Structure 1
Amino acid sequence: MGDLGRSLLWWKQVFLVFYDTVGLAQPAYYRFMMISIAFLRSLVLTSVLSFIAPVLLIGCILAVLSLISQIPVIEAIAQVGAGQILEFLAVFGSGDVVEGLLVIGLTCGLVGALFDTYAFYRHQNLRDG
């Protein structure tokens, strides 16, 4: 390595030491990539959990009503309740209960993703400003 190569290597080391000392240890593109990965991970997790929550809630309610319908005294009340919930889901699914459940789940997932995007944006602005 010639004098120019050693000189450039020395300046690079000086720059990196200064860069670390000032607290800018990560280049801007690296920070952007870390923010993007963190944001995407948060967005996917929020979307999935926002989708699963209403699906599980409705599923649990239907399961409880199904179990309650096994008791002879309150069988009619449980069947009417389950029928009402299934009719409600059929409205959102154009007559199909499963499609209605998916529509509600996807809508909640989208709303969760939008809320997470807004919260991430606000966090970035309040932290930087």
Structure 2
Amino acid sequence: MSILTPFLRSLLLTSVLSFTAPLILVGAILIGLSLLGFVPLLESVGATGVKQVLQFLATFGSGQPFQGLVIIGFVCGLVGGLFDTFNFYRYQNLRNH
């Protein structure tokens, strides 16, 4: 059996999960801060929090928050793929000894 098929399957799964994890996290933070804006004494905290998160994302996206979110997700997916490749390589070397 070829080791290429399990490696590619693992690499694809790791990259996709590493890409979606920051998107879900930032989305949950934005939803939480938006919902915080409905609490009577915390409207300003929620609005300020959303504004700060969007400014943070715009920093990575050349002024576009969505583009910044995609860039962060892409980088996390790349790092996850590199880590999975390293882990697969180490496992193959340790198994042969």
TM-score by length of 1: 0.74
Which of residues 14, 24, 40 is equivalent to 2:8?
40
1:92 corresponds to 2:55:
no
- Partner of 1:62 in structure 2? 30
Indicate the percent of aligned positions where both proteins have the same amino acid: 56
**Structure 2 unaligned blocks of 5 or more:** none
User: RMSD of aligned C-alpha atoms?
Assistant: 0.6
1:71 offset after TM fit, Å? 1.1
The answer for the alignment partner of 1:25 in structure 2 is none
Could you tell me how far 1:72 is from its partner in structure 2?
1.8
- Does the residue aligned with 2:13 lie in a helix, a strand or coil? helix
The aligned amino acid for 1:71 is: V
Larger Rg: 1
In structure 2, C-alpha distance between the alignment counterparts of 1:100 and 1:70, rounded to whole Å = 27
Q: What's 1:108 paired with? A: 76
Runs of 4+ in 1 over 6 A off after TM superposition: none
What letter is aligned with 1:117? T
**Residue correspondences, number:** 97
Higher relative contact order (CA 8 A, sep 6+): 2
Quote the Cα distance in structure 2 between the aligned partners of 1:46 and 1:107: 13
